[in-house]
Amino acid sequence: MMNEYYLPAGNTYYRTNEFKHGRPTLVFVHGLSGSSSAWAEYERFFSEKCNVLSYDLRGHGKSPKPKRYKDYAMEHLVEDLHELLAHLKIEKCIIVSHSFAVLIVLEFLARYQSQVSAVVFLSPSFCVRDMFSSRIAEPFLQLSRLMEPLPFSGKPGAHVDYTRFKNTGDWNIPRMIADVGNTSIRVYLWGSLQTYSVDREAFLSEIEIPVLLMHGKNDTIFPVKNSLIMAQQIKNSKLILLDNMDHIMVLNRFPEVSVAIEKFVNSL
């Protein structure tokens, strides 16, 4: 059973099961415009075997939405995670991250690698600026900063029921509307723009902990070549490529992804 809480300092929403001594601690970090509810099946799968923590990034799900663009900088997302681990007195953990969250975790590792025993990168990227589509989109995303003076409530949203969107593709309109509607178009655009600040290719060779990489061969958001490069440069890494799989593997391929994570955790 997962219990709901809010971090007192920043009001970050998070969920945990009952932590037990001697079990590995899994920390699940969701992608852009999503929320911790994307991990619901994984919480149930691992709750009897591991200490489980999932949380909503700032501006997402039930966490508050800051009103300024600079409040969504990667350094703040990293420190939110660091403060949450400190609050729960988690000294070592295994972090499972998907898509946008991989960029956060790479930044986290650059500062706090000693607190992490292993990581799982699902549909990852280490630098979005080099993508042709990203270079085309950046000028339009920059315009979103003009939204800052406009009225904005900043109230937390809710949790999307992702069971409705299993086996949907990368650009499934109903799922995207549900996500962006919950997060807000402002947070979605600002979060997208903040990704341009991350370029961690040179850092990959400095990752000393075990890494599991999983990528769908049909991913149209973050190309599979990202994982191929990461597997070459991260010393202690294992790469699993999924046939006939797009970017949304967390929802669409739960059986394979959960079992791969379990085997990886057991191997540590």
Amino acid making up residue 175 = R
Task: Write the pLDDT tens digit of every residue in 123-167.
Answer: 999 999 888 889 899 999 999 999 999 999 888 899 999 999 999
Output the pLDDT for position 102: 98
- Using CA atoms, how far apart are residues 182 and 48, in angstroms rounded to an integer? 30
pLDDT band of residue 260 (cuts 50, 70, 90) is: very high
Element at 14 (helix H, strand E): strand 13-16
- pLDDT for residue 123: 98
Looking at residue 153, its pLDDT comes to 84
Q: Which amino acid is at 59?
A: G
Residue 88 belongs to domain spanning: 3-267
Q: Is the pLDDT of residue 231 over 80?
A: yes
Torsions phi, psi for 220 (to 5 deg):
-105, 5
| Number of structural domains the chain divides into | 1
Cα(88)–Cα(104) distance, rounded to whole angstroms? Answer: 19
**Alpha carbons 191 and 63: distance in angstroms, whole number:** 15
Distance CA 122, CA 134 (A): 20
Residue range 38-60: mean pLDDT, rounded:
97
Q: Please give the pLDDT value at position 188.
A: 96
At 184-216, the pLDDT tens digits run 999 999 999 999 999 999 999 999 999 999 999
Which CATH number is 240's domain given?
3.40.50.1820
pLDDT at 2 (0 to 100): 96
